[in-house]
Structure 1
Amino acid sequence: MLAKAFPVDLRRCQVLGLAGTACLALGGETAGALPARQLLAPTSPHAVLGLVGVYFGLVLLTAAWVLLGRLVRGGDPPTPRALVLVLAVWAAPLLIAPPLFSRDVYSYLAQGAMVDAHIDVYAHGPSRLGGPLADEVAPLWQHTGAPYGPVFLAVAAALSGLTRGELPAGLVGMRCVALFGVALMAAALPRLARHSGADPSAALWLGALNPLVLLHLVAGAHNDAIMLGLLGVGLVAALGGRPALGAVLITLAALVKAPAALGLAAVLVLQLRAGRHPVRAVLTTTVAVALTTVTATAVAGTGYGWIGALSTPVSSQNWALTSLLGRATRALLERLDSDLAPLAVPAWHALGLAVTAVALVAIWWRLRPRPVYALGLSLATVAAFGPAIRPWYALWGLFLIAAAAPTTSVRHRMAAVAGVLTLAVLPDGGPADAGRLVLALSGGALAVVVLWQARLAARTPTALGRPA
């Protein structure tokens, strides 16, 4: 209905999306994931107005994205370069906004300061650092080691040294790192789409301009941005006949966050498709991975504690499918006074890992001629059946599925998932409650009313516009 309501052109989409992200940034000034000393009570008038404003902007942004999708599917779609400009315009207000939808960026800064101070970031949580940066980290993670690889921690440590531990400068710096990752994603998507026989503009629309990217990679400054950016350019290099360079870049991505390591399967498959002997393909990839890992770990100076960090515990209240089923099973067993109750969550997590392993084998066996699409489905499976999930984890698979989806219906389903997940987290990253959900719905409803009135105005000629 929305797509039929307005005459669509690129300028209108650009302005509507800009209005949306501007409202997000303004609302975030009082309702975002602010530093502890700036936090307002959720019931304060400024926080209430900010929360309404954030969801007002979120609906405007989503509407602009949907309308842009209609334009991309039309007879004269915008070029990839024009879409990248739209992305830059939409992202601009978020660059100066406070962190939104998560407090993870404070953990990144504290962990970078720990590395800079030569504290073992894998053995100790931010509480060991102490001081203003550590105070910003959520209590849940104060005593938990970093779950990230040495490449990201080296970047965070360098940023800590440059900013001398100053929080405002650190937040800006970390957002610039995330923006660099988004730029790499936008650069890789059209090339991946062409290699996969897909539409580059449609790939950019779904993979880089979707609201999840703007909300969580730009506004939230998540390190998933740099992971996906390195993964994307690594795949471009491998598809272009440079498997060693591709393996190096993908290894760097995996040394930000581990799921990117699945991209090495695509590097191997591409070499085999090019006629390279299997032993040589495996040897080339293995040498590239080993040299990159040893060099990056030595430069970061963090040691190999990141291997053990792969098993860093997850939040007991996260809403991953296996965690939800585990908690439900545990509650049932506790009602039955069963001694098996403590094993319920670990058992479901183990089952999820087993399902993931089987699914990955099936995906790669069936889709090995289409490695980019196979990798996208693999990362989506890891996110769906893993022990923890956050809305931005959906971008792991969506990024590559956008570049290689075989049909329009697949893109539509992924777009629907992205649209739903944009509503999953409140702007301060905290837990939802009934009162704040009502305010969020009010902001969204107000935006819908405004869009509806704009539709009526567009369809109803004014008295001044009628001929005399």
Structure 2
Amino acid sequence: MLAKAFPPALRRCQVLGLAGTSCLALGGETAGALPARELLAPTSPHAVLGLVGVYFGLVLLTAAWVLLGRRVRGDAPPSTRALVLVLAVWAAPLAVAPPLFSRDVYSYLAQGAMVDAHIDVYSYGPASLGGPLADEVAPLWRHTGAPYGPAFMGLAGALADLTRGELPAGLYGMRCVALLGVALMAAALPRLARHCGADPAVALWLGVLNPLVLLHLIAGAHNDAIMLGLLGIGLVAALGGRFTLGAVLVTLAALVKAPAALGLAAIVLLRHSPPDTSAGTLLRAARGPAYASARSLAAATVKTLAAAAATTVALTAVTGTGYGWIRALSTPVSPQNWALTSLLGRATGALLTHAGSDLAPLAVPAWHALGLAITAGLVAAIWWRLRPRPVYALGLSLAAVAAFGPAIRPWYALWGLFLIAAAAPDTSGRHRTVVAVAGVLALAVLPDGDPADPEQVLLAVCGGALAVVVLWQARLATGPLQGRTA
């Protein structure tokens, strides 16, 4: 039975990916986003070896994912169950590894401790907490209020109470929350794909086995994992006709991170013109004879917003965090953020400064405002054109928010990619685009989460190049994985 579920070619992908994540975990022991007392100098031999090992493993993992994609799109694709088992094997070393590629998890723990200590997490930064946890937060964010909603703050506060502020226990607790989110994503994605007429195995490969999920949602323990997991199962509930439950779950996702609130638009359209769930077909065309009236749309909107409002009020009352999270949505971004509008703003500011203009300080805010306007226009156009396909429209909208917003991180690409994997037309072009985007973004951040210097970049390139040489030699010795059959 196991041999049928895991033919030799699939097992080789599984082993190659496991080797990659094992190297990532081992390299992270000296080059990851370690607690302050364990940090090594970037030039120390152990940190150098760890950095090379991380990028060696990263290339192995990416190669395994690409080869697995060939199997998924081949003549005898693996089942979704087999792919979930591959995900579990690949994720296992990262589940016990130190934090990688970001120090955000330390901010989560400090903010959770603030909630547990009844400090207003939206008015004060972790510096007001003091102590070891606050010292772990990146200096840039120590005096900044939390930009997350009461759902996540309540969860972080409960975790702080459970772990009594102990750092190792807190880190593993946040990792468990991230793993739960990824498990919800893996459970929701095949169901979303079936409803949208896509191949569930291909969707699972693109949206959950993606290296960005392993590197940032699991190894980085980002709260985007629980946001996307709640969003996914909320959409599944709505596609199954449980619209109120869907609205509640999507609202919970938005109360983790605000971008998920766009999912309520999908709930409204699904309630307004529900799919034929018995046949698993797509929504009827917007201008078709079965499309509901404007009165029905208004009723769907009111019911969805009522469920969202009730959820928000109830959860805010339970967590006791208040409504400061609304104000915190305007939390400033890093001045060196490499979002498109931030880059253009800094370049424009430099030109204005060189020209002696007094308008230079307004360049970045102006570009951010333009980016938000472009995002609003794109989102409106997407929903108008794709309103018969709300899951796809939501995925593209979240991708637009990430691309043109004032801040971007590699894992933000997963907001849209997760749903695009389930709902986009099944074309080879989509696969190539996702592979290219994931490959580039996977290389964009160093494992300690700090800005790169030229020496570290060189070491990272050496680690990746070594992995390429090893893979090439293995290919010459054994032949390409794609060519071998079970």
Report the 3-state secondary structure (helix = DSSP H, G, I; strand = E; otherwise coil) of the residue aligned with 2:329: helix
Distance 1:429 1:283 in 2: 43
Letter in 2 for 1:249: L
CA distance in 1, matches of 2:479, 2:103: 43
Structure 2: stretches of 5+ with no match in the other structure: 1-6, 275-291, 481-486
| SS of residue matched to 1:319 | coil
- Letter matched to residue 327 of structure 2: G
Alignment root-mean-square deviation, CA: 1.1
Alpha-carbon displacement from aligned partner over 1:202-225 (angstroms, at most 9, x marks no partner): 000000001000000000000000
Q: How does 1:436-455 map to 2 (within 5 A)?
A: 436-455=456-475
Contact 1:405 1:411 in 2 (8 A): no
Give the match's secondary structure for 1:9.
helix
Q: Counterpart of 1:120 in 2: which secondary structure?
A: coil
Paired residue for 2:143?
143
Q: Which whole-Å CA distance do the structure 2 matches of 1:459 and 1:248 have between them?
A: 51
- Partner Cα separation in structure 1 for residue 70 and residue 299 of structure 2: 46
CA distance in 2, matches of 1:418, 1:230: 23
- The reply on whether 1:291 has 2:320 as its aligned counterpart is no
CA distance in structure 1 between the partners assigned to 2:431 and 2:326 by the alignment: 35
Question: Does residue 431 of structure 1 match 2:451?
Answer: yes
Match status 1:170 vs 2:190? no
Cα deviation, residue 8, structure 1: 7.0
The whole-number CA distance in structure 2 between the counterparts of 1:370 and 1:278 is: 16
2:188 is aligned to 188
Deviation at 1:279, TM superposition (A): 2.6
Runs ≥4 in structure 1, deviation > 3 angstroms? none
Asked if 1:385 is matched to 2:366, the reply is no
How far apart, CA to CA, are the structure 1 residues paired with 2:223 and 2:147?
A: 12
Letter in structure 1 aligned against 2:147:
P
**1:374 lines up with 2:393 in the alignment:** yes
Per-residue CA deviations over 1:297-332 (Å, capped at 9, x if unaligned) read: 111110000000000000000000000000000000
Residue 16 (structure 1) aligns with: 16
The alignment partner of 1:360 has SS state of: helix
Partner residue in 2 for 1:218: 218
2:267 maps to what in 1? 267
Counterparts of 2:421 and 2:9 in 1: how far apart (Å)? 22
- Aligned partners of 1:415, 1:458: CA distance in 2, in Å? 24
User: What per-residue deviation string (whole Å, max 9, x for no partner) do you get for residues 208-246 of structure 1?
Assistant: 001000000000000000000000000001111111111
Asked if structure 2 preserves the Cα contact closer than 8 Å seen for 1:197 and 1:404, the reply is: yes
1:88 maps to which residue?
88
| 2-structure distance, mates of 1:415, 1:266 | 27
Is residue 52 of structure 1 aligned with residue 52 of structure 2? yes
* Deviation by residue 1:285-307 (Cα, 9 ceiling, x = unmatched): 01100110001111111000000
> How far, CA to CA, are the matches of 1:407 and 1:367 in structure 2?
16
Q: How does 1:148-159 map to 2 (within 5 A)?
A: 148-159=148-159
Aligned residue identity for 1:391 = P
Question: What is the aligned counterpart of 2:440 among 416, 420, 444?
Answer: 420
Q: Deviations over 1:321-349 (max 9, x none)?
A: 00000000000000111111111000000
AA in 2 matched with 1:389: I
Alignment-derived partner of residue 128 in structure 1: 128
Give ranges in structure 1 of 5+ residues lacking alignment. 1-6, 461-468
Distance (Å, rounded) in 2 between the aligned partners of 1:279 and 1:343: 40
Judging changes above 3 Å, is the alpha-carbon distance between structure 1 residues 328 and 40 closer, same or farther for their aligned structure 2 residues? same
Q: In 2, are the aligned partners of 1:318 and 1:388 still within 8 Å (CA)?
A: yes
1:53 and 1:71 map into 2 onto residues whose CA distance is 27
Please state whether the residue corresponding to 1:48 is helix, strand or coil.
Answer: helix
Q: What pairs up with 1:318-329 in 2 under 5 angstroms?
A: 318-329=337-348
Say which SS state the counterpart of residue 333 (structure 2) adopts.
coil
2:188 aligned counterpart, secondary structure? helix
1:230 is matched with: 230
Match of 2:419? 400
- Counterpart residue type for residue 452 of structure 1: W
Normalised by the length of structure 1, the TM-score is 0.96
Match of 2:352 among 333, 340, 355: 333
CA distance in 1, matches of 2:463, 2:173: 31
One-letter identity of the residue aligned with 2:110 = A
Pair 97,62 (structure 1): closer, same or farther in 2 beyond 3 Å: same
Give, in angstroms, the shift of residue 66 of structure 1. Answer: 0.3
User: What's the CA shift for 1:270?
Assistant: 1.0
Question: Residues of 2 paired with 1:414 and 1:69: CA distance?
Answer: 11
C-alpha distance in 1 between matches for 2:52 and 2:446: 11
State the match for 1:343 in structure 2.
Answer: 362
Partner Cα separation in structure 2 for residue 273 and residue 333 of structure 1: 51
* Count of residue pairs brought into register by the alignment: 454
Is the contact made by 1:8 and 1:71 (CA closer than 8 Å) also made in structure 2?
A: no
TM-score by length of 2: 0.92
Rounded Cα–Cα distance in structure 1 between residues aligned with 2:161 and 2:150: 16
Asked whether the 8 Å contact 1:8–1:67 carries over to 2, the reply is no
Would you say 1:116 and 2:120 are equivalent positions? no
Match of 2:483 in 1: none
Provide the C-alpha distance between the structure 1 equivalents of 2:217 and 2:94, rounded to a whole number of angstroms: 10
Report the CA distance between 1:411 and its aligned residue.
2.9
Task: Give the distance between the partners of 1:387 and 1:15, measured in 2 at CA.
Answer: 39
Mean Cα deviation higher: 191-200 or 265-274: 265-274
